[in-house]
Amino acid sequence: MNIAPGKTEVSSIPFDQARVDRLMEEAGIDVLFATSKHNTQYLLGGYKFIFFAAMDAIGHSRYLPIVLYEKGGPERAAYIGNKMEGGEHQNHPFWTPTLHAACWGTLDAANLAVEHLQKIGKSTARIGIEPGFLPSDAYTLIRKALPDAKLIDATGMLENMRAIKTEAELEKLRIASELITDSMLATIAWAREDTTKTDIIERLRREETNRGAHFEYCLLTLGSSHNRAASDQAWKKGEVLSIDSGGNYHGYIGDLCRMGVLGEPDAELQDLLAEVEAVQQAAFSKVKAGTLGGDMIAHAESVLKASKVASYTDFFAHGMGLITHEAPFLMTNHPVTYEGTYAAKPLEKNMVLSVETTMLHPKRGFVKLEDTVAVTDTGYVMFGDRGRGWNRGAS
């Protein structure tokens, strides 16, 4: 399918065109060549092809969606997708004036992209690519076919593009967080003595799925262990449970952690969770548009440093949205490998943060809270703000 380029009304573009154009200009990019699922989804207004939602591989190659967007030229934008996506377009038309729903692998997709760039007169342009999401065979084809083009790493520009959420994105993130929180609390209340980690994780998967979320993972500990992998370990009376789950709603991530106990929490457990909560609250107190990201981190770390549990407790905060670690990047290599490029920048309204404090207690086990907050002009809004104390398992 090839829909010829034509005039597109700006109102039909599902992103802030002026902002994207400005970011492209600052990055020295004339044409975006987006190939990751998360960035193509963003540029297409939330669309992701369900057939390849779980796995990209097919035949001898893989699915490679491509969105081509020229700075200031939405009427020359194109989407290149799988042959079966023609049916998706019939039901819910893509906004891009040109659509090639014709591909079964990386090379045919890259070929069509090259042809489109040549057709719109951009074969010598500065083309923004995603090196981490552009297969080597497709890259080699593009490099040979467009020898006069300059290929620029657009990763940072695209991350900045997604950093400020729209109201619609915030609502999806809120729903994702609420669904994950509800699922975790229901799972803790269901689990009882001798329920295994494997059984608890499977129960959580079903709880999330039944609520309309897409389950992605569950990191679970029981008792004094710090091991969060699935196993036949069973929950015992008096032991703690830490349940950390990531799932998504229409592609947007919910990532939270809550605590459970089988029985009543003793005074020590109450005290330990209070120490974790104090660090979380310290971080929240600095979340506000205009506050430097690094100042929020430094304040939380200073409260943790003064805590009696500091030697075995860690604080971390990161941005989230379509993926679990995205802009704003607040800490360097802690623990995910990237630079904390936003530490010296002010937080902005509608950025979304995951704030987490993790205690690896030598005897009582894994004690953690992870929360999701959206930055506002006056502070923050928390998503999934329930169950942040000790939640009881089934008796």
Question: Where do runs of H (alpha helix) occur along 285-359?
Answer: 293-305
Dihedral of alpha carbons 286, 289, 291, 296, sign: positive
For residue 395, the model assigns a pLDDT of 81
Residue ranges for the chain with pLDDT beneath 70: 1-11
For residue 5, the model assigns a pLDDT of 45
CA 325 to chain centre: 6
State whether residue 70 is helix, strand or coil: strand
Place of tokens 């449970």: 241
Closest C-alpha among 260, 167, 203, 226 to residue 365: 226
Q: Is-contact 216 324, C-beta < 8 A?
A: no
For residue 6, the model assigns a pLDDT of 43
Torsional class of 169: left (φ above 0), alpha (ψ -120 to 50), beta (otherwise): alpha
Report the distance separating Cα 169 and Cα 67, nearest Å: 20
Closest C-alpha among 244, 245, 248, 212 to residue 321: 248
Closest C-alpha among 348, 10, 320, 58 to residue 177: 320
State whether residue 346 is helix, strand or coil: strand
For residue 278, the model assigns a pLDDT of 98
CA 242 to chain centre: 21
